[in-house]
């Protein structure tokens, strides 16, 4: 819990400098979200000097509330590529 509180301001500083991805990336994201029938989908591109993101969808299927960057979500299997070189 203390670590979460300590990292919160750091995360917020990244979000304050975040920039949206181009509209074409947003269209691809929305088409993938519809194809796989997930309520929301987000993607981030982390560069040395900035964070770019795209977000689309709703918080819950069938509900009108739009998804936001502050919503919690599942990350899936995103660390397999990092674990292999470390082994």
Total-model pTM:
0.54
Instruction: Give burial (CB, 10 Å; 0-12/13-18/19+) of 29.
Output: buried
pLDDT in tens, 31-82: 988 898 888 888 888 888 888 878 888 888 888 888 887 887 776 666 666 6
- DSSP state, residue 73: -
- At residue 60, the pLDDT reads 82
CB atoms within 10 A of CB 22: 11
Element (H, E) at 57: strand 51-57
Cβ–Cβ contacts within 10 Å for residue 14, how many? Answer: 13
């Amino acid at each position: 819990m203390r670590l979460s509180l300590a990292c919160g301001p750091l995360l917020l500083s990244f979000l304050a400098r975040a920039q949206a991805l181009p509209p074409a990336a947003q269209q691809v994201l929305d088409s993938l979200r519809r194809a796989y029938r997930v309520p929301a989908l987000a993607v981030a591109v982390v560069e040395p000097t900035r964070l770019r993101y795209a977000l689309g969808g709703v918080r819950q299927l069938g509900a009108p509330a739009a998804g936001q960057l502050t919503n919690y979500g599942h990350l899936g299997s995103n660390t397999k590529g990092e674990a292999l070189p470390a082994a």
